[in-house]
Amino acid sequence: MQWNSATEFFAMGGYALYVWGGFGACALLMLVEPWLVRRRMREAMLNLRRLNCADNTDH
């Protein structure tokens, strides 16, 4: 282990902005994408249920 303290770890040898920026951007986008897909799924399901209801009232 090359870190002596938490501050040293977060400072990343002076490259904090770049290292944390890179990892942070990846983490953020990799959380946003599944969230967007999940929303798309919900919308599709909702649509489908609406269609189902419409068909049921038709008969």
Partner 1 sequence: MNLETEKLGFYRYSSPQTFYPLAGKMLPWFWVVATLFGIAGLWVSFFVAPTDATQGEAYRIIFVHVPASWMSMFIYIVMAAWAGIGLALGTRLSGMMAQALAPTGALMAALSLLTGSLWGRPMWGTWWIWDARLSSELILFFLYVGFIALQAAIDDPRRADKAGAILALVGVVNVPIIYFSVIWWNSLHQGSSVSLTRSPSMAQTMFAGMILMALCFWMYSIAVSLMRVRAIIVERERNSEWIRAEVKYAVE
Chain residues in the site for partner 1 (CB under 8 A): 1-3, 9, 12-15, 18-19, 21-23, 25-26, 29-30, 33-34, 37-38, 40-41, 44-45, 47-49, 51-52, 55
* Residue 12, burial from CB neighbour count under 10 angstroms (0-12, 13-18, 19+): middle
Q: Which residue has the tokens 């770049």?
A: 18
- How far, in Å, CA of 17 to CA of 25, rounded? 11
